[in-house]
């Protein structure tokens, strides 16, 4: 099975939210503040990427799928 990744823009599109929302959630999480996005990004260089399987699992934990 091939692992696929999504960037901030694609994740935001799946959630029907802005890219800045995704980035703000990651920023809040790194600082230990309240956040809802609990997916760990994989840093490729300076670019965060999210495993598609992790996104699916996170959506399932919220009680829905996108």
- In which residue ranges of the chain is pLDDT below 70? 64-66
Q: What is the pLDDT of residue 1?
A: 77
Over the chain, what is the mean pLDDT? 94
Q: For residue 3, give the nearest of 53, 42, 49 by alpha carbon.
A: 53
What pLDDT score was predicted for residue 65?
A: 54
Torsion (CA) 60, 35, 46, 51 in degrees, nearest 10 = -10
Q: What is the pLDDT of residues 20-33, one digit of tens each?
A: 999 999 999 999 99
SS3 track for 1-66: CCCCEECHHHHHHHHCCCHHHHHHHHHHHHCCCCCCCCCCCEEECCEEEEEHHHHHHHHHHHCCCC
For the chain, the domain total comes to: 1
Domain with 9, as residue range(s), is 5-62
Give the angle 25-28-29 at the CA atoms, nearest 5°: 85
């Amino acid at each position: 099975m091939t692992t696929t990744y999504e960037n901030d823009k694609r994740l935001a599109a799946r959630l029907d939210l802005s890219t800045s929302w995704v980035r703000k959630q990651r920023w809040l999480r790194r600082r230990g503040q309240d956040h809802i996005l609990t997916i760990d990004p994989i840093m490729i260089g300076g670019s965060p990427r999210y495993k598609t399987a992790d996104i699916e699992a996170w959506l399932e934990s919220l009680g829905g799928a996108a």
